Chains A and B, each alone.
Chain A
Amino acid sequence: MKIDRRSFLTYTTAVVLGGAAGSMLSPATWKITDDIAIWTQNWPWTPVPEDGAVSYKQSVCTLCSGNCGINVRLIDGRPVKIEGLKDHPVNKGSLCPQGFSGLQYLYGPSRVTAPLKREGKRGEGKWKKVSWDEALAAVTGKLAELRKQGRPQSVACISGSDQGTIPNLIGRFLNAYGSPNFICEPTAQDAIEQAIYLTQGAQGEPVFDIENAEFILSFGSGILEGWGATGRMLNLYGAGKPARKIIQVEPRLSDTAAKASQWIGINPGTETALALGLAHVIINESLYDKNFVENLAFGFDDWTDDNGKTHEGFAAMVKNYAPAKVAQITGIDQAEIVSLARKFARAKRPIAVNGRGRGFLPGSIDESLAVLSLNALVGNINKTGGVSAMPDPNYTQWPEVKIDEIAAKGMQEPRIDGAGSEQFPNTRYLLNRLPETINTATGESPVQALLVTDANPLYTMPDTAATKKAFDRIPFIVSFSPYMDETARHADYILPNHSYLERLQDAPAAAGNSLQVISLAKPVVRPVYETQHIGDTFIQMAKGLGGFVNEAFPWASYEKFLKKTLADHWRTLNRKGILEFAHDLPEPLAYTFNTVSSKFEFYPTARNRAKQQKGSALPAYAPVPIEGDIQRFKLVMTPYDSIRLSGGYVANAPFMTKTVEDTVLKQQTSFVEINPATARELGLKEGGMARLTTPKGEADVKVHLYDGIKPGLIAMPRGLGHTAYSDYLADKGTNVNMLIGAIEDPGSGLNMAWGIRAKLTRI
C-alpha cells in the first residue's frame, strides 16, 4: 500500500478528529470524568456536616473558675460552636482559648464514657465497663465497711473547689458520713485570704477591685495568663488599655509583663523585700495615707502589749529595708525603687496585687502580708478600687445535718492534712502536706479511701513521685472525673461525671470580682455518654449508706436539691441565668475590722504563736529556702503559666495545644527558657537538647534562648507532660510539677516554694 502525503494527512486528520469526536460525543467519557471529579470532591471519608434548624442556648463556661457566659450555637440540637455571651457581666462576649475549645471537652478520646472498674494493675489502663448500679454498690459498700469499722475519718475527698453547691453537697456528705477530710487544692488565694484575715479579721474571698484601680502594681501576678477570673481580666485589659497603668514586677518577661506599662525585672523570690522597701520609701517620705494609718490602723508605730512588753511597729521595722539594701536583694536599681514607691503612693487609685502567675502556688504569708501592708499604707482597704474580703454570698439554704455517733466521733478526729490544727490554725486546706503524712505513717495509710473530684493531684501536685507513692498506699481510690486524667487512670473505680456542657450547676464567679456573680450552668445537650451528674451520684451513695447519711439528702436528684436549696433565688437564676450580689463596702469612715484592736493590723496579732514567740509577727523578708545544693545546682528554675496551656485540672483540649508555640513544645519535647548569656556559658544553643536536673527529678528538654528572662534563671511552662487523657495530650513534654517540690510556710503550712534549684547539661 502506498500512501502519498496528501492521503496521509487526510487519513491522520480523519482518525484524530474521528477519535476525538467519538470520545467527546460518547456519554461515557463525560460521565466518567464528571464522576471522578465529583468523587474527588466528596471523598466519602471527608465528613459533610448535617444542616438543620439553628438555635442558641445560653449557659456558663465552668472549665475554669472564671465562669464566663457562653452562647452555644446548635444545629438541630447539636452544638456546633461556643461563643461568648455578649451581655454577660464577666466576659462581655469574648472567651479564652479554653472556652472556645469547649466542644472538644464534650466529645473526644479523653472522655470516660461509662462507669469503669479497674482490671489489672493500678495505672495500667485496663478497665472493665460496669453498670452504674454495680459501680455505686461497690463504692458505697467500701464506704459502709469503713464506717462499720468505726473509722469514717479515713475517707478523704480531694476537690478542686469549695465554692458552689456541688462541693458543699460533697462536704455535707462527708460530714454526715463522719469525715473531716474534705481537702481543697490550695492556691495563692489561700495565702491572701489568710493575710486579709490576719490584718482585718475578715473571712471571705479576697477582692482586688482592679476594675476601679488606675495604677496596678503587680508582684508577678499573671493578670493576662489566667490570674483571678481569666475572662474578666482579659476584658479589663482591653477596655482599660489607655487609662490604666500596670507595673509588672517579675524575673521573666511574661505576657503580662510584655503588655504592662513598665516591666521591672527582679531576683526571683525577693518580692517581699521589694514590698517592704517600697513601704520604707513611702513612710520615709511621708507619702502614706495619714488618716488611715493614724485613725484606722494598729501596729504602725511601736506598741506595748498587756504584759508590758514593747513590740516594734511596722514603721520602725521597715527601716531595715532601705533602698540600697533592697536594691542589692532584688537586683533592682535603687533609684528605680524610690521612683516606683513615689509613683505608687502618688497615683490616683493605686493597688498592689500578688499571687505568682495564675496563682497555682500559694506563696508565703509574709509576702501576702507585705503586699497588703503596701495597700494599707495608701489607705486602699475596703475601698472602691481597693482590697477587701467578700463574705460568702450565702444564697443557699441548707437543712440541718443530723449525725450519728460514728460520724460524731469521726468528725472530732484531727484533719489528716493538719489544716486548722494548733500549728496552722488559720489554714483551711493543706493538700500539699497529704503525701508526706501518708508516706511517713507507720502501718496503714491514714487514708483508706480517697474520693477525687474536679482535681487531678497526680498531675498538678508538686513532687509527682512522692504523690504517686502516697496514692499507692491508699487502698481504694474513686474518681468522678469525666476525663481519663492521671488521677482517674490511677483509680480503682471511675464514676464519670457529666462534662460541663451536659451538667446543671450553680457557678459562683471566681475570686476577685468586686461584684459577686452567680451564674447557672444549664445543660446545652443531653448527656452523650453513660455518665451521671456527680450530685446525683452522691445522693445515690447517701441512699446506699442509709441512716442519717441518707436523711441528710432528702432530695431525689441534684436538680430537685438545687431548686430547694436556692429557694427564692432559683426563679431569678433560672430566668436570668445570673444572680448578682453587690459587694457592699463599709462606709468610708466607719471601717469595721474584726481584729483584736478593731483596726487594720499592720502588726497581725492573730498570727500564729510559733512565729510570735521567736519575735515579731510583722512581715519580714527571708529568702524561701528553695531546695537544692547551690554548688550542684547552679541555676534556678521556676514554672510559668501561659494562657494557651491549662496547668490545672481541666487539661488542654487539642485546639489549645495546637496554639502552643514551637518554642514551647516541639514534638514530644518541652523547652526551657534561658537567657542567651547563661546559655552561652553552658554551651547551649537555640533548640539544642539538654538534660534538666533538679533535686526532684530529671528530664530531657530543648533549650529556647529568651532575652526576656533573668540570667541564671530558667523557666518551664505548666500544663505539659501529661501521661493520661489521649494521644492529643499525653507524652507531650515534661510535667514541671514532677521537677519541683513543696516548702511549707512555717506559719501557714501552705506551700511557699516558687521554684527549685536546677542544672542544665548539654546532651
Chain B
Amino acid sequence: MKENNNHSNAKRYGMVIDLDKCTGCGSCMVACYSENNVPFKTDETNKLDSLNWIRVYKISNNKPYPHSEVCYLPMPCMQCDGIGKHGHSPCVSVCPAVATDYDYSTGIVSQIYTRCFGCRYCMAACPYHARKFNWWDPVWPADMEKYLSPNVSARMRGVVEKCSFCFHRYQLARDKAYLEKRQELAEDEYQTACAQGCPTGAITFGDLNNKSHAVYKLKKSPTAFRLLERLETNPKVYYLSSKSWVRRAGDNYLAHEETEKINNKVKEPYEAKEHL
C-alpha cells in the first residue's frame, strides 16, 4: 500500500461507458469470460454466486406502459481511487493479507488469487458487488480446458476474483514497448477485452490523466456521472447518459435533492494538476 505515489507521469486508467450506446447485448460479459478464463456452471441463474467480472444491469424508470423506459448499465470493477484518492480503495484497505492492492503506476486494483485466503472482507467493503467469490472448484467439461489462456491464471475454490482491467494486457503491452525501447504506451496498445469487444463502441478505455486519450475529454462531459459518487469511493469508471433518470439512478438522493447539484459537488476537481 505504501509506495511512492508522486510519480509525475502516473497513469490513471479508467473507462467511460456511454449508456446511450449500450444495447445490453452482453458481449462485454462474454468477451471478459473468454479473455479471463472465467468458469461457468450448469446453473448460472443465481446472479449472486455467478462469476461475472462485469455485469450488465437492466434498470427502469418505473413508469407504467407506454411511458416506461429501460437502460442497460454494465458494471465492471470501478477501480476505486478511494477516499482522498490515495489508493485507499474500500476493498484494498480492508484486506488483511494484502491479497488485493492498489497499483500507483496505473491506478488499477489488483487481486492476487494465490494470496487471498477467502475471508471476503473485501466483498463486504465493495459497494458495487464487483467482487466475486469462488464458491466452487472451477470445472471445464469435455476438453474445454484446452481453450484456457495462459495469460490469466485459473482461480481455485475459496478465493475472491474481480475485473482486473485486463491487467495482463497492460503487462504484455508494456513488455513490448520495453523491448522496443519505448516509455509510453499508445492509447490503442492497451485496451481491455470488453472495450474492444463492445459492438456499439459504448466502452472507451484509456488514461484519465492523459489529455490525448479519449476518456480524458469524455469524463468531463456534462452528462458524465459515476456510480455512488457520494460514498467517495472515487471510481475510475465513468458513465454517460442523456437521460436524467438514469443519472439519478446511479446514486442515492434525498427526495428534495437535485441530481446535478450534488454531482457537481462531488466531482473531482483535481486531475488538471496531476498530469505532467
Contact = CB atoms under 8 A, between A and B. Distances in A.
Chain A partners chain B: yes
Of residues A41, A52, A706, which shows the largest number of chain B Cβ atoms within 10 Å of its Cβ? A41
Interface string A40-60: 110101111111100000000
B63 interface: yes
Interface in A209-231: 224, 231
A255 B43 contact: no
A174 interface: no
B183 interface: no
Contact of B149 (A49, A263, A528, A666): A49
Contacts of A43: 137, 156-157
B30 A100 contact: yes
A94 B202 CA distance: 11
Given A49-B37, A234-B199, A709-B65, A95 B144 contact: no
A78 interface: yes
Interface in A100-118: 100-101, 103-104, 106-109, 111
A258 B59 CA distance: 11
Interface string B95-113: 0000000000000000001
B154 A49 contact: yes
Contact of A658 (B25, B40, B143, B199): B40
B142 A95 contact: no
Interface stretch (A139-147, A236-244, A568-576, A584-592): A236-244
B163 interface: no
A667 interface: yes
A51 B200 contact: no
A100 B52 CA distance: 15
Contacts of B68: 253, 706-708
A43 B44 CA distance: 24
B60 interface: yes
Nearest to A104: B144
B105 to A, nearest CB: 25
B196 A235 contact: no
A655 B40 contact: yes
Interface in A495-528: 528
Interface stretch (B16-24, B75-83, B85-93, B206-214): B16-24
A103 B147 contact: yes
Contacts of A41: 113-114, 156
A690 interface: no
Interface in B40-59: 40, 42-47, 50, 52, 56, 58
B190 to A, nearest CB: 15
A528 B143 contact: yes
A554 B116 CA distance: 63
A425 interface: no
A643 B25 CA distance: 6
B187 to A, nearest CB: 15
Contact of B199 (A91, A710, A728): A91
Contacts of A655: 30, 33-34, 40
B25 A97 contact: yes
A238 B142 CA distance: 37
Interface residues of B, number: 64
B65 A238 contact: no
B153 interface: yes
Contacts of B27: 94-97, 99-100
Interface residues of A, number: 79
Nearest to A103: B147
A285 B257 CA distance: 48
B201 A51 contact: no
Contact of B65 (A95, A107, A708): A708
A302 interface: no
B66 A265 contact: yes
Nearest to B114: A41
B141 interface: yes
A224 B150 contact: no
Interface stretch (A81-89, A165-173, A400-408): A81-89
Interface in B187-228: 193, 196-202
Nearest to B63: A707
A19 to B, nearest CB: 26
Interface in B148-186: 148-150, 153-157
Contacts of B64: 676-677, 707
B44 A658 contact: yes
B144 to A, nearest CB: 5
A654 B50 CA distance: 12
Contacts of B235: none
A254 B115 CA distance: 44
B147 A52 contact: no
B122 interface: no
Interface of B: 20-21, 23-27, 29-31, 33-35, 37, 40, 42-47, 50, 52, 56, 58, 60, 62-66, 68-72, 113-114, 137-138, 140-150, 153-157, 193, 196-202
22 contacts: A40-B156, A48-B153, A49-B150, A94-B197, A94-B199, A96-B27, A97-B25, A99-B27, A104-B144, A107-B144, A234-B200, A239-B201, A253-B70, A255-B23, A259-B20, A643-B24, A660-B44, A667-B46, A706-B68, A707-B60, A707-B63, A709-B65
5 closest pairs, A vs B, by CB?
A238-B200, A234-B199, A707-B68, A265-B66, A49-B148
Given A94-B201, A224-B25, 10 more contacts: A96-B27, A100-B33, A101-B34, A107-B144, A238-B200, A253-B69, A643-B26, A661-B58, A662-B47, A707-B63
